[in-house]
Structure formats: C-alpha cells, structure tokens
Structure 1
Amino acid sequence: MTPKEIVSYLDEYIIGQKDAKKVVAIALRNRYRRLQLPKEIQDEVMPKNILMIGSTGVGKTEIARRMAKIMGLPFIKVEASKYTEVGFVGRDVESMVRDLVVSSINLVKEEHRNKSTQDIEKYVLDKIVEKLIPPLPKGASEQKVEEYENAANKMRQKVLNGEMDHLKIEVEAPKRTFEIEDGNMPAEFAKVQETIAKVFIASPKDSPKKEVTIKEAKELLKVEASEALLDLEAIKQEGLKRAENSGIIFIDEIDKVAVSGNGGQRQDPSKEGVQRDLLPIVEGSVVNTKYGSIKTDHILFIAAGAFSLSKPSDLIAELQGRFPLRVELDSLDEEALYKILTQTKNSILRQYEALLSVEDVHLSFSDTAIRALAHYSQVANEKTEDIGARRLHTVVEQVIEEISFEAENYKGKEVEITEILVKEKLESLVADSDTAHYIL
C-alpha cells in the first residue's frame, strides 16, 4: 500500500493525529521499498525508528496495532516497564526479539495453512471415511472396488454435509508437546527442552486412542493434517527471514524507564540498565532463539510514551539517537471525542448496539446525546486524570448500564439514548470531582 492508502485506512479507525499517521505510513512503505533494492544496497538501508510522544488514550498503540494488521507483518507490542537489566529478576530485553520470532513463525504457519485448506480438508475427510468404511483388502475384484468407491463417495458427501456429525469414531489424540513458547528462554535451554520433549513424545502412551464424535474428530484431525502436510522447516526459515526483514517491535511506556533529573526515579538503578541493554538490540546485533539466530539490524522499533513525569531527553543519549523520527500526538478535545464516537469504523456506540441486538434490543443514540457523551468525557478528563479516548468507554458504560443489566425488559423494543438520559446519569457525577475521580 502507498503511504496515502495507509493513512486513509488509519483514518477509518483513528481520528486526527495526521503527523503520526504520515510518519508511520512512510516508515512502512520504506520497508517495501528496501526489499526491492539490489542486495548490496539493501544491507545499507537501515530502518528509521520512531518515538511517539503523547498522553494516554490519544491513539499511539492503536496506530501501531492497526498498521501491523493491515500489512500482515510480524508485530509484537511490549511494555518497557516489564523488562529488567541483566542481573535483576525479570525478563531480559532480548526476549522481545524471541517473541517477535514466535509471532512471525505463527504468521507464516497460518498463511501456509490457509493455502493448504483444500489439502487439509481432503486429508480429514479421507481419514474419517476410512474409519466409517474400512478399506478393501488387496486383490479385491473390480466390481467390489467400484461398489466401494460409490459407497465412499456417498459417505464423503454425508460427512461434508454434517449428517454424520453425531456418530462416534476412534481417533488418535494429538501428541502432547512439551514446547513452552517462552521468549525469555535462552537458546541453549530451548535445545535441552527439545531433547526432553522427544523422549516423552516417543512414548506410545503419549498418543492414546479416544472416542469422539465426528464433529470433534474434524477439529482434532486438522491438527494432525497440518503437521503431516506442512513443511515445518521451511516455515521456520521463512518466519526467521520475515522477522529479520519486516518485523516491527512496538515498545510502549518507554518513558517508564527514563531517569528524570528530579532524583525520584534514581532509586531504581535497573531503569538505566534496561536502556543500556536495549541499545545493542536497536542498533543491530545477533540474538539467539530456539529457532535459530536473528539479526536485529532491519527490525523497525517504534517506542511510545506519555512523558508526563519525564522528558524524551531523560533517555540516555545513545538510545535517543537510535529513534531519529519523533512525532508528538495531539491531546483530544471535545470535537475529537465526538468524531471518535460517530466517524470511526466499529466505534464503541456501534459495538454496544451490536451487543444488545443479540438480546433483540434495538439501541440507538441521538446526536445530542452523543454530543453530551463527548462533553462529559472531556470534563471528566479535565477534572481527573486525562486518559483520552479511554474515558468514552467509562462514560458510555455508565449511561447504558441499567439497560444492559435489564435487557430482557426491553426485548423487541426501540431504545433511544437521549441527551436528557445522559445528563441524568452523568451530570451529578462529573460535578462532584471526588465522585468523578473514583467512578469516572
């Protein structure tokens, strides 16, 4: 997708923040551009990492999440505050790269599985029909073979149509695997784990036969079919390659490991240590994973933080230099909150309407009610902590709580949320700053 197309897609889900969308769109497009270059130039083109600065709830994480979804790229979101420097108890920063590799391999495996859907379905169908109509012995006459084929084809159609789903057949339970997808596990420990797993899997008791309905067997046999038909080694290599060249790591709460000059955060020495451990990964190094080594030179890093108690300049200078693109996101005003409720695809209002339609309750919101919801959200943000668009969830939930709780009383009815109802539910709460602090 071109940068304009990426921004257009992001506009469907995120209001405003044009600068941030533009920077992200160009960074994504440059991933594609680099891969079209000759090999010798490819290695020289390094990704331009991005630092997003903005208060909570303005769309930092949503931009990253949506862009990864649209591009189908290996992507993980991590929180900087969850990591500790080497020597402290906790996750080391290299584990984020291992997590990215796992995410990439799962992405490639899913793609291969989708491409092999027909083969997998055929494998499952053949196995089930084989259980229902055992194969003929060798040397059977042509007439017997023809009769068997006719009977098998009829049975296939019945299984496909779900007519046989209630019947029970005996299948082998999927093998228990002892793999633990732990991104914090060093490669050498992963190899030991793999060896132990092979010993256990070799046990005949590991794959007991169990009696299940054909409906359940279809799902169990899909797992078996995937293992039998997919080239797992090729998937692993493709996953590693894709993580190296197209991977994106979104580091949220980067401000939580910044050491501000006021001395309050200096009591935690691990914060600066996390930054120093992060530096070689962002600069480019080799990380060992259970699937093989991966170079981090061309992974795109996007860091984000509110920086309410610290400043970007409180990060160590070397790390600041590895995030050359900086973009500040705007705070959300009342108009922006109104647009989030009305213009975004699958907005929170559409979600509640869909949820209550399950109970045959036809919920709708008048325009003046939506304006009031945006207004009270903005006032609550000003009076208490500014949590941006997240405030909308709290406010809307407060307004429709009773309707949602007593949904059976509204079955088959049209229920309109009006400005009067919104005021009734929220005005007294927002007016009392103590109550607003705890409820909203």
Structure 2
Amino acid sequence: MPQQETELTPRQIVAELDRDIVGQADAKRAVAVALRNRWRRRQLSDELRAQVTPKNIMLIGPTGVGKTEIARRLAMLVGAPFVKTEATKYTEVGYYGRDVESLIRDLVEAAILLVKSTEREAVQEQAKARVETRLLDLLLPPPKPVMGWGHEHEHGAGSEPGDRFQRSRDKLKQQLEAGELEDREVEISMPAKSVAPISILGAGNMEQMEMDLQGMFEKMMPKSSQPRRMTVKDARPILMMQEVDQLIDPEKIHQAAVTLAQESGIVFIDELDKIAGDEGSTRGPDVSRQGVQRDLLPIVEGTTVNTKYGPVKTDHVLFVAAGAFHRAKPSDLMPELQGRFPIRVEMHDLTRDDFARILREPRASLLRQYEALLGTEGLTLEFTDEAIEVMADLAFQVNRSTQNIGARRLHTILERILEEVSFDAPDRHDRTVVVDADLVRSRLEALAKDEDLSRYIL
C-alpha cells in the first residue's frame, strides 16, 4: 500500500501538483479530493467500505492544457500504479484490435514494477554483502577438500593451508573494499538469451491465452547459462541483479501487486470523446464506438479481470477520463458510462501569462531542460525575461491563428530558436549563450506572421 496516500491532505496534494503544473486549479482540487476519498474509504468498517465506490473524474478540455500531466503526477505523488491509454486504441470484442481488459493487465504490470522497486531497495544491503562474498570466491576460490589416510581432511580454520588461505582472503577483501581490484578479470555465469516468443494468436482479445501459453513454454524450457569473462567493475552490477532477484520472492510480489492495483491503481483514458457515437447507428464506425463503450462499462463499473498473476477486481480502481469534446458532448456517451464519471471538470485554455509561467515555474520546465542539455556540452544558456515574454506571446498567437495545441506549442518554438545553438554546441568558442528578445524575434516573427508558414512550421 503506498504510504503517502495516508498522509497527504487535499491541500497538500494541490500544493505538490502546483510545483509541476501551471494553473487548472479546479482539476487539481477534483483529483485531490478523489484521492483523499480513497484514504477515507479505508477508514470505514468492512461492511460500509465495500459499498463506497471511487468518484471517477472526467476532464474536459483541449489538447496540451495538462490533462495527462495531472493524472501522471498524481500517480507519481502517491506511488500508485498508473496506466495511460487512448480509448481509440480499443475495438469491440470480435473486431481486430486490443481487448479493453488488457488495460487492467497493463495496470498490474505497472504495479509489479512498483512493488519490485520497493522490494529491491529493502534487500539492497543484504545483496551488496552477498556480491562482495561472491567476488571474493571468484577472485580466490576456496580450496577443495583433500583426501588422505582413509578419511577426508579439509583445509579447515585450524590447518596451516587453511590459515594461509584466510590471510590471503582477508588481504584480498581489504583490496576489494578499497577499489584496487576493479580491473581484475573474473568469470561469471550469465543466463543465455532466450528466443523471443512467437505470436501464435493474432487477435487482440486472445492476448491472455497467448500469455498463458508463453508462461507455460518458459516453465518447460530448461534455463541454460553461459560463462563470461569481465572485470570486477563490470561484473558487480550483474551479480547485484542476480543476488537481488534471489532474495525477493516472486509470489509475494505478485500478490502485493494485485492488491496495490486493486486498491490504488489509477487508469487514465484519453480521447474518450472519440468513442462517443450515435446510439441509433447500425453501421460504420459508430457501431464499433458503441461496442468499445459497452466493453469499457463493466471495467469502470467494477468487474473481475483474469491476469497471469491472478484475478483483479476493478471495483476500487480510480478512472480518470479525458477528452476535448469539441464535436461530441459527454451526454453523447452511453448513459451508464456517463454515470460512472460523476465528477466533471472543465479545463481552461492556456492564457498568454500561463505560457510564460510554464516556461519559468515548473521544476522540470522547458527552459531548465534545455539549460541542462546544453550544459552537458559545457555551454551556459541564459534566457532574458523579455525573451520569455516574447516566446509566450508568440505561442499564444500561433495557437489562436492555427490549431490550438496548448503548451506543446512551446516545444516547437524552443526547438526553432535553439536549433542552431544545439547544432554548433560542441564547436562553439563562446561558452555562454544569451537568448534575448531580438534572437527570438529574428527566428520566429516572420514565421508567426505568415499564417500558411506557421501552420506547417510552428
């Protein structure tokens, strides 16, 4: 169970999201309350807890305003398994395409990665000690028992060869700890590469059967290994992985992952508006859209999905759906599906000031990313305040005159401005590059004014 989920109040969740996402206060409040409700549910009696279902959320707004980012950051914040998918990726069962249930199988895989990561950290110190012992054994193998006078003598601690061996081993251990043997070669055993599984069943809704067959073949095939010579430095991480894997119990991980997915999983379904179609329609794409909605309904409503790690109940998984809803409306979805998303939040278009804040404020803002990337070449990149304002202004203008793609427009604008600097970075003599308003204008203003050009280039 993620620990943070029990500690964060809605106000703290919003404050954390504010560090990475600009604006959209309504959406942040809605997801913060939905998350806190999960904690509240766990405080209830068993009888009442079973009756309380998650308050799923529907985020309505154009592309690039932060819908996915809010859901993703939320999952990272509480250490919850998270899966993002597009509703358009699925087709009705019986058509060629992905089965909607694969969403939950992906969620369990995400949960396994999280649980494994926690377990790995827990056994790290123990594994480290075992790796050092294995390296010592590889550098100085223990002496084999010696046969003599009808009974077996071992080079034990009391014998002279045994003492000599122990002294050598102690000396070697000190050298190993001091990092003096990193270039010494050792021979380690590595598992042979397995042949990639061949897909024998084409249709998407057969993937569970395919996974079961694959698992069965893996169990039947003998695991072979091959010796490899490498330095102590290269062998250490490989041995570390082997020891960690031996110390963690796969069955325990699978059980914990299923529980984590059931109790704390977050599923983000994007482009929900694209599967809204006419209920009366009996032909064309609308039939499949209706089919996907019908297949999605039991999963959102609460059902049991079979996975290779055991059955997973979806009753308490939090579903966050999103869509632009330009042409369709939430009311165009099946009434039952609409009812499963009681919280509706409208996301706002980004203003010119929002663009400036997006460039400046988040911990991993675009400007910080570019400064760090070019810093690897020894370049110092500086953006003047006026340059940031001009970039925000241009992003806002181009979004209004062409297609509104929200904050993603800033990526294109920055790439355009820094293209030459990025190309010349290794060969530049001046190690400081100042991006000012004049540079931004010279690179972009002509493009932004020409609507046809900006449509293709910006």
Shorter-chain TM-score: which interval? Answer: over 0.9
Counterpart-to-counterpart distance in 1, 2:38 and 2:222: 41
Q: CA deviation at 1:238?
A: 0.6
2:181 is matched with 164
Q: Partner of 1:57: helix, strand, or coil?
A: coil
Q: Partner of 2:221: helix, strand, or coil?
A: helix
Counterpart-to-counterpart distance in 1, 2:231 and 2:40: 51
Q: CA deviation at 1:384?
A: 0.8
Are 1:82 and 2:89 counterparts?
yes
Q: Check whether the contact 2:278–2:286 (CA below 8 A) recurs between aligned residues.
A: no
1:341 is matched with 359
Q: CA deviation at 1:262?
A: 12
Quickly say closer, same or farther: Cα 1:257–1:44, change in 2 above 3 A.
Answer: same
Write out aligned runs for 1:397-436 (5 A). 397-436=415-454
Q: 1:190 aligns with which of 184, 203, 211?
A: 211
Are 1:107 and 2:114 counterparts?
yes
Q: 1:37 aligns with which of 44, 47, 67?
A: 44
Counterpart-to-counterpart distance in 2, 1:149 and 1:79: 62
Give % identity. Answer: 46
1:95 is matched with 102
Q: CA deviation at 1:196?
A: 1.3
Counterpart-to-counterpart distance in 1, 2:368 and 2:64: 19
1:220 is matched with 238
Map Cα deviations across residues 301-331 of structure 1 (whole Å, 9 max, x no partner). 0001111222111111110000000101110
Q: Check whether the contact 2:135–2:232 (CA below 8 A) recurs between aligned residues.
A: yes
Q: Check whether the contact 2:91–2:289 (CA below 8 A) recurs between aligned residues.
A: yes
2:32 is matched with 25
1:53 is matched with 60
For 1:389, give the aligned amino acid. A
Q: Check whether the contact 2:279–2:290 (CA below 8 A) recurs between aligned residues.
A: no
Q: Partner of 1:78: helix, strand, or coil?
A: strand
Q: 1:292 aligns with which of 300, 306, 310?
A: 310
Are 1:325 and 2:343 counterparts?
yes
Q: CA deviation at 1:259?
A: 1.4
1:366 is matched with 384
Q: Partner of 1:15: helix, strand, or coil?
A: coil
Specify every segment of 5 or more residues in structure 1 that has no aligned partner in the other structure, as ranges: none
Q: Check whether the contact 1:176–1:201 (CA below 8 A) recurs between aligned residues.
A: no
For 1:198, give the aligned amino acid. K
Are 1:350 and 2:368 counterparts?
yes
Q: 2:408 aligns with which of 390, 414, 427?
A: 390
2:220 is matched with 199
> Matched residue pairs, number?
437
Q: CA deviation at 1:275?
A: 0.6
TM-score of the pair, normalised by structure 1:
0.94
Task: Please identify, of 156-165 and 282-291, the stretch whose mean Cα deviation from structure 2 is larger.
Answer: 156-165
- Aligned-residue CA RMSD (Å): 2.3
Q: Partner of 1:326: helix, strand, or coil?
A: strand
Counterpart-to-counterpart distance in 1, 2:430 and 2:171: 44
Quickly say closer, same or farther: Cα 1:267–1:248, change in 2 above 3 A.
Answer: closer
For 1:34, give the aligned amino acid. R
2:5 is matched with none
Q: Check whether the contact 1:175–1:201 (CA below 8 A) recurs between aligned residues.
A: no
Task: Please identify, of 149-158 and 286-295, the stretch whose mean Cα deviation from structure 2 is larger.
Answer: 149-158
Counterpart-to-counterpart distance in 1, 2:222 and 2:436: 62
2:4 is matched with none
Q: Check whether the contact 2:93–2:205 (CA below 8 A) recurs between aligned residues.
A: no
For 2:311, give the aligned amino acid. S
Q: CA deviation at 1:57?
A: 0.5
Structure number with greater Rg is 2
Q: CA deviation at 1:40?
A: 2.1
Q: CA deviation at 1:157?
A: 4.0
Q: Check whether the contact 1:174–1:223 (CA below 8 A) recurs between aligned residues.
A: no
Task: Please identify, of 211-220 and 228-237, the stretch whose mean Cα deviation from structure 2 is larger.
Answer: 211-220
Task: Please identify, of 361-370 and 406-415, the stretch whose mean Cα deviation from structure 2 is larger.
Answer: 406-415
TM-score of the pair, normalised by structure 2:
0.90
